[in-house]
Structure 1
Amino acid sequence: MTVPSRPLKLMAEIYTKVLPEVHRELKRWKEKASKIPDPELRKQALSSIESKTFHCEGGAIYSLIAEDKRKDIIAFIVAYQTISDYLDNLCDRSTSLDPEDFRCLHRSMLHALTPDVKPENYYRYRSQQQDGGYLEALVQTCQKVLSELTALKSIQPALHQLAGFYCDLQVHKHVVRDQRVPRLMEWFQKNKAHLPEMSWYEFAACSGSTLGIFCIVAYAAARGDEMKLLVGKIKDSYFPWVQGLHILMDYFVDQEEDRIEGDLNFCFYYPNDQEMMDRLKHFIEEADAAIDTMPDKNFHKMINRGLLGIYLADRKVAKQRNVRVLARKLIRKSGGSGLFFFVNGWLYRRIRQSI
């Protein structure tokens, strides 16, 4: 089986091989979430699945790299992304503002990448405790898939580095409001020497994606021992530019919603719209350049364009006049394949929402 390198083939495989399996996995986790004893934990678990299904759908596209291990990799991606979305809800919508609580919750994301570690009580710093084994089951699903990869030792340092950035971000961005930016800026200063030129809020965005982890795990399933040579190239291709583009687009379409909710949005820190557009275009160009030496580079370039198209097709864009105007410029920047994925994403979202 070859990795898709043309848009039509990619979309055909997404609809026939990826999405049905993703929805089967999510149905299983939704059933387990519905049995969580604590009402608040149950509410957030169910809400995270219902409102963020497209995160799992998008991430699972990387399973097409994994050849005959595709279903196993979808199980890993759905479980890991479900942990991420669930914890994001717990931190975003809970009464807790305790960084120790957030750090403890997110230890589950590091444990999910470490099969020889036993899950622990990740809720120990909060009053809600009884999740009926939901988070532990998600962690163990990830551990089981990774434990069967012959390349696990080769890829673990890269996985832990990317997950470490992700977990640090989630801690810093959810604390008391007036501490968030100072903490994020201090964190950026500690890492600045190892980064290309960017702002603190762009580094934070680059840290907030799980795509690099999914890409590395999918290749490990397909390439085995080759990963000793490949893992560094994959990590450096996805972090910072591809991941940064992914999360900046997420924030780009959420601006009005985050303004109403009072949530942190990294697009708010650009001095003006022109600077934001220049930097988004820079991220598009750098992401393209970064994946130019990747195996299956056409596949990864389509993912890049697909990210742009799918986010820009979100209904939220149409409701924000200024964002809508800027989105048209980004669609033009993304070229023909970007327009293809924009139209496809627009149709898919509206068909799904009408069912």
Structure 2
Amino acid sequence: MNVPSQPWSLMNKIYRQVLPSVHKELAVWKQRAEQIPNSELRTQALESIDTKTFHCEGGGIYALLSADDKWRSEVIRFIIAYQTISDYLDNLCDRSTSLDPEDFALLHQSMEHALSPGTELENYYALREDQNDGGYLHDLVSTCQTILAKLPSFEQIAKSLIELERHYSNLQIHKHVIHEERVPRLQQWFTENERDLPAMSWYEFSACAGSTIGIFCLVSYATNKDLSPDLVDKIKEGYFPWIQGLHIMMDYLIDQEEDQEGGDLNFCFYYENKEQMMDRLMHFFNKADEAARALPHSRFHSLITRGLLGIYSTDTKVKNQPEVQSVFKKLMRAGGLPAYYFYWNSFVYRKVKTS
């Protein structure tokens, strides 16, 4: 396993090995989505791929932790299928006429089944009007199951995968119900989990739950046959809450203006002021960096934390939000030269993609 430990070697592998494979897999699922009979499901499936490609591009980086090239290819297939389920369901919940938590829970049952080889698939659309996807969601779930069943150390990670998935799915259920119930449901959910968490607020816990990267990291390491239970715990506890929390707080940080206009839930809105938000984001960065240093291939995981800063700071949404710009300036200084390296790479990549 030759895991990159320098910014330039990481970017070289991303451009040469990860992105071509990610785009190849996405093209397969896009072609499959185009054949969905129901027009609403087809629209949401295609839009989730077209507008959220960067989720798969970022997730695919974790395949570099795989045992060898053969496994890297398989892990990328898993990551793209699983992230495509996540993005598709997010669209179905976010843009749905339904506000039924039971509907959202049944849809997200597919994400647990995707992590449970051998589990029988269900009609995940049973509680909504639009149902005929031509087997699209079942195919995504089955692809994930097939790959996981082959992992040398799947049994060692199985429990942790489900734990992370349940946090993610509960967040999606609670945040998509009617507006008046969203915050009370999220607060109650936090209360149920608070004793198992380091000191944080309900909205920070919600953010920590909203990432899939801990799952991708565990799956990549499970391509090694000698994965120990202690290491599994260390990976899970490093990624949840801190590295996942940093990931999703960056997402909400850049979406503030957009969410304000759309009346959408944004966890950055609940800080008392900009200073408190800055202090807490810096705390998340420092704790994420501390967690990364405690993991095997620590340089790789530290580069991920800095990459999150650099990549999100180049998003076009940032330039119209002066307060967000000032937050990123402080975070980037904390991230040092690697963060700036990823900033310039991301800036150039975005320019090339849009030209």
**Taking structure 2 as the reference length, what is the TM-score of the superposition?**
0.98
Counterpart amino acid of 1:10? L
CA distance in 2, matches of 1:143, 1:104: 18
Counterpart residue number, 1:254:
255
Aligned identity (percent) is 57
- Please, which moves more after superposition, 313-322 or 119-128? 313-322
Given candidates 197, 200, 219, the residue that maps to 1:198 is 200
Task: Look up the match of 2:104.
Answer: 102
CA contact (8 A) 1:155 1:227 kept: no
For residues 228 and 56 of structure 2, the distance between their equivalents in structure 1, rounded to whole angstroms, comes to 24
- Which amino acid in 2 is paired with 1:219? Y
1:3 maps to what in 2? Answer: 3
Once the two structures are TM-superposed, the CA of residue 292 in structure 1 deviates from its matched residue by 1.5
1:174/1:180 contact within 8 Å kept: yes
Deviations 1:227-268 (A, max 9, x none): 433211110111100000000000001111111221111011
Alpha-carbon distance in 1 for matches of 2:308, 2:182: 27
SS of aligned partner of 1:169: helix
Partner of 2:124: 122
* CA deviation vs aligned residue, 1:275-304 (integer Å, no higher than 9, x gap): 101000000000011122200000000011
- Deviation string 1:24-51 (CA, Å, 9 cap, x unpaired) is 0000000011111111111111111011
Contact 1:219–1:227 (CA under 8 A) maintained in structure 2: no
Task: Tell me if the contact between 1:220 and 1:227 (Cα under 8 Å) persists in the aligned partners.
Answer: no
The separation in 2 between residues aligned to 1:185 and 1:224, in whole angstroms, is: 40
Give the alignment of 1:219-298 within 5 angstroms: 219-221=221-223, 223-298=224-299
**Distance in 2 of aligned mates of 1:331 and 1:138:** 37
Spell out structure 1 runs of 4+ moving beyond 6 A: none
Match of 1:112 in 2: 114
Question: 1:154, CA displacement in angstroms?
Answer: 1.1
State the match for 1:77 in structure 2. Answer: 79
Q: Which residue of 1 aligns with 2:39?
A: 39
Match of 2:55 in 1: 55
- Give 1:347 deviation, angstroms: 1.1
SS of match in other structure, 1:97: coil
Q: CA deviation at 1:325?
A: 2.4
SS in structure 1 of the partner of residue 286 of structure 2: helix
Corresponding residue pairs, total: 353
Instruction: Please provide the CA RMSD for this pair.
Output: 0.9
C-alpha contact 2:221 2:227 (8 A) present in aligned 1? no
Deviation for aligned residue 1:321: 2.4
2: CA distance, partners of 1:292 / 1:328: 23
User: Would you say the 8 A contact 2:156–2:227 is kept in 1?
Assistant: no
CA drift at 1:126: 0.3
Give the stretch that moved more between structures: 278-287 or 150-159. Answer: 150-159
For structure 1, the residue ranges without an aligned partner over 5 or more in a row are none
CA distance in 1, matches of 2:2, 2:345: 22
**2:6 is the counterpart of 1:18:** no
Task: Specify the code of the residue in structure 1 equivalent to 2:279.
Answer: D
1:307 partnered with 2:298? no
For the Cα contact (< 8 Å) 2:309–2:328, is it kept in 1? no
User: Residues of 2 paired with 1:304 and 1:345: CA distance?
Assistant: 14
* Counterpart AA for 1:44: Q
Q: Note the C-alpha offset of 1:119.
A: 1.3
1:162/1:207 contact within 8 Å kept: yes
The one-letter code matched in structure 1 to 2:127 is Y
Per-residue deviation, residues 32-74 of structure 1 (Å, max 9, x unmatched):
1111111111111111101100000001100001023000000
